[in-house]
């Protein structure tokens, strides 16, 4: 894989708090990567580092082969749509779009107009009079119409209704297919976006729990139900991420390891764990020892 951005052993400390601890990963070029994790996991911090809004306490961040901090050449090719993006008070929608058109060399004004109509945004309305969802739509329009080679969306759809969100997915896919570029998107609405992703990063408490392609996540874990002792016997050859019990019956999320017995022979009811359930189970599981955490999935047979 070719990397648009690399993060090497990056730690980010704020006075009392370590937001990222020794994170190493790379963002694949021209792929859509999902950045997943709980509130406060470190997603926004990672995006701020990738876009030169912060400098890491230690480690190295490179985008297009150079450090992004105060680097015009990198930043002109980067579009970062922040959660709850603020605009100057007197700005109307069209002022924000005009400003963005000056900033991004690849700006597509026609696409911006189409998206304005899609999201039913009145171009002349002052942005501070917009609802939360409409404010999010402004960010989405800028993010897509910028055609920036590296586009980051941080929780882009606060307040957007389900119809508008699907419009966003459709427009994103259509435009990305025509103009492939590197897209990093953080979201809590995992189920909605799972099939759009090519890569998945999961952060928890400042550490990377998953760094893999989306396809290999599918089928990498099973949710099993049945007698607790049988679940324990089955899970012994795998990773037991989460177990609920009720009167001797259990429900468990088990991450499969190569070499362990398949769930078919366990005498348990088994179904594949979808990405959202896996993220929940992994985020709730006690922190694993660091060495094996990031590539643990690679040995699982498909």
Partner 1 sequence: MNDDGGPIFRQVADLIENAIVDGSLAEESQAPSSNELAAFHRINPATAAKGLNQLVADGVLYKRRGVGMFVATGAREQLLKRRRSEFADQYLRPLMAEAQKLGIPATEVTDMIDNWESPR
Closest CA to 179 of 217, 139, 144, 141: 144
- The nearer residue to partner 1, 152 or 222, going by C-beta atoms, is 222
Query: What is the length of the chain?
Result: 302
Can you tell me which of 195, 229, 244, 261 binds partner 1, judged by CB under 8 A? 195
- The nearer residue to partner 1, 130 or 183, going by C-beta atoms, is 183
The CA-based angle 8-44-210, given to 5 degrees, is 55
If one asks whether residue 279 binds partner 1 (CB under 8 A), the answer comes out as no
Contact yes or no for 12/60 (Cβ under 8 A): no
Contact yes or no for 231/243 (Cβ under 8 A): yes
If one asks whether residue 177 binds partner 1 (CB under 8 A), the answer comes out as yes
Contact yes or no for 191/41 (Cβ under 8 A): no
Nearest distance from C-beta of residue 231 to partner 1, angstroms: 18
If one asks whether residue 264 binds partner 1 (CB under 8 A), the answer comes out as no
Alpha helices by DSSP H, listed for the chain, are: 43-50, 72-75, 93-103, 109-118, 132-145, 162-178, 190-193, 214-217, 228-235, 275-284
Can you tell me which of 8, 169, 233, 280 binds partner 1, judged by CB under 8 A? 169
Stretch in the footprint of partner 1 (CB under 8 A) among 108-116, 121-129, 200-208, 268-276? 268-276
Stretch in the footprint of partner 1 (CB under 8 A) among 58-66, 87-95, 176-184, 231-239? 176-184
Place of tokens 């055609």: 147
Binding mask 61-90 vs partner 1 (x if CB under 8 A, - otherwise)?
A: ------------------------------
Contact yes or no for 167/146 (Cβ under 8 A): no
If one asks whether residue 167 binds partner 1 (CB under 8 A), the answer comes out as no
Q: What is the DSSP letter of 290?
A: G
Nearest distance from C-beta of residue 52 to partner 1, angstroms: 28
- The nearer residue to partner 1, 42 or 263, going by C-beta atoms, is 263
Q: Which residues bind partner 1 (CB under 8 A)?
A: 31-32, 169-170, 173-174, 176-178, 180, 195-198, 214-215, 218-219, 222, 271-272, 274, 302
């Amino acid at each position: 894989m070719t990397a648009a951005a690399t993060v090497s052993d990056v730690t980010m400390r704020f006075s009392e708090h370590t937001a990222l601890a020794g994170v190493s990963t790379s963002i694949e070029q021209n792929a859509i990567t999902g950045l997943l994790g709980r509130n406060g996991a470190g997603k926004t911090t990672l995006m701020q580092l990738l876009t030169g809004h912060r400098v890491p306490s230690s480690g190295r961040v490179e985008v297009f082969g150079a450090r992004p901090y105060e680097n015009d050449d990198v930043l002109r090719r980067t579009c970062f749509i922040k959660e709850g993006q603020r605009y100057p008070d007197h700005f109307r929608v069209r002022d924000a779009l005009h400003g963005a058109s000056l900033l991004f060399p690849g700006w597509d004004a026609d696409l911006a107009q189409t998206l304005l109509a899609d999201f039913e945004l009145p171009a002349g309305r002052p942005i501070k009079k917009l609802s939360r969802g409409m404010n999010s739509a402004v960010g989405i329009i800028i993010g897509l119409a910028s055609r920036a080679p590296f586009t980051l969306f941080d929780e882009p759809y606060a307040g957007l209704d389900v119809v508008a969100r699907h419009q966003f997915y459709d427009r994103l896919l259509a435009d990305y297919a025509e103009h492939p570029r590197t897209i990093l998107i953080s979201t809590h609405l995992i189920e909605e976006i799972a099939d759009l992703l090519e890569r998945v990063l999961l952060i928890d408490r400042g550490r990377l729990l998953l760094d893999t392609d989306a396809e290999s996540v599918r089928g990498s874990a099973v949710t099993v139900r049945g007698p607790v002792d049988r679940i324990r016997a089955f899970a012994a050859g795998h990773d037991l991420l989460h177990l609920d019990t009720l009167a001797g019956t259990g429900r468990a999320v088990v991450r499969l390891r190569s070499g362990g017995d398949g769930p078919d022979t366990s005498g348990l009811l088994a179904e594949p764990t979808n990405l959202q359930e896996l993220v929940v189970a992994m985020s709730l599981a006690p922190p694993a020892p660091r060495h094996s955490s990031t590539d643990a999935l690679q040995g699982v047979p498909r």
